[in-house]
Structure 1
Amino acid sequence: MDVRGVRGALTRYRVMAWIVGVLLVVLVCVGLPLKYLGGDDWVVTATGVPHGWLYMLLLITAFDLSRRVKWPWRWLLLIALAGTVPFLSFVAERFATKDVQGRLASTASEDAPSPIRE
């Protein structure tokens, strides 16, 4: 496993998950109530369009990470769907980070030299 490449892919994925997650929370929890209760759709426009475009980047970074760590398609699909539910992208990012860090730790322990026994 290319440890350096996996770490870079994980960082890119985490940044995108947080950005997309924050935009979605602002869109749903602030923008939609303002639009439908207050008649002001400025927040929806300001967060909805960037969320949509950045969600596509989230999918690309999630795909890149999944291919590097060899996740099954089911796991990649769940991560992709998490970007569409408020607050769920933060949960998915945490689980993905834990999984990747565990894989990196097991790779590091396999690569470590074994102690010499006499």
Structure 2
Amino acid sequence: MGRLFTAYRVLAIIVGVLLAFCSLVALPLKYLATDGSSLQTFGENASIMWVAHGWVFIIYVVVTFLLAREARWSIPFTVLALVAGLIPLVIFWVERSVVRRMREEHPELSAERA
């Protein structure tokens, strides 16, 4: 379970950063910056990161589902963890909740630093 837990943490951070960047930087620049400006061009070019977020999110969902089954999470908590990668910045709060819960329920994970 330690490897799944570590993979979950890494993927949660990557998904969170990608989603925050795409939602809070690329999207506004693409649609709100002055037409033809360098900022708009940057926003358009940076929008490719949505594809990266999508692929990493798929891996995140698989790893989170496997971790949830192994750790025997409740259905609502599992759904929260799975959906967190779709709402900007929420995934960081959920990741902390998962870490706290996992370390309480599985003290052997407390020694691991990831």
TM-score interval, smaller chain: 0.7 to 0.9
Q: Note the residue ranges of structure 2 that are not aligned, 5 or more in a row.
A: 34-39, 109-114
Inter-partner Cα distance in structure 2 for 1:73 and 1:104:
19
CA–CA separation in structure 2 for the residues paired with 1:12 and 1:89? 15
Mapped partners of 1:14, 1:86: distance in 2: 16
**Aligned residue number for residue 102 of structure 2:** 100
* Percentage identity across paired residues of the two chains: 33
- What CA distance in whole angstroms lies between the structure 1 residues aligned with 2:107 and 2:55? 33
The superposition leaves residues 18-48 of structure 1 with CA deviations (integer Å, 9 ceiling, x where unpaired) of 0000000000111011110234311112x10
1:28 is aligned, of 23, 32, 38, to 23
Name the CA distance, whole Å, in 2 between partners of 1:100 and 1:90: 15
SS at match of 2:5: helix
- Cα distance per residue 1:55-104 (max 9 Å; x no partner): 00110110111011100121111111110111111111100011011111
Aligned residues: 100
1:1-118 counterparts in 2 under 5 A? 6-38=1-33, 39-40=40-41, 41-45=44-48, 47-105=49-107
TM-score, structure 2 normalization = 0.83
- AA of the residue aligned to 1:80: L
Q: CA RMSD in A?
A: 1.2
The residue aligned with 1:115 is none
Query: TM-score, with normalisation over the residues of structure 1?
Result: 0.80
Whole-Å Cα distance in 1 between the matches of residues 88 and 50 of structure 2? 13
Q: Distance in 1 between matches of 2:21 and 2:103?
A: 29
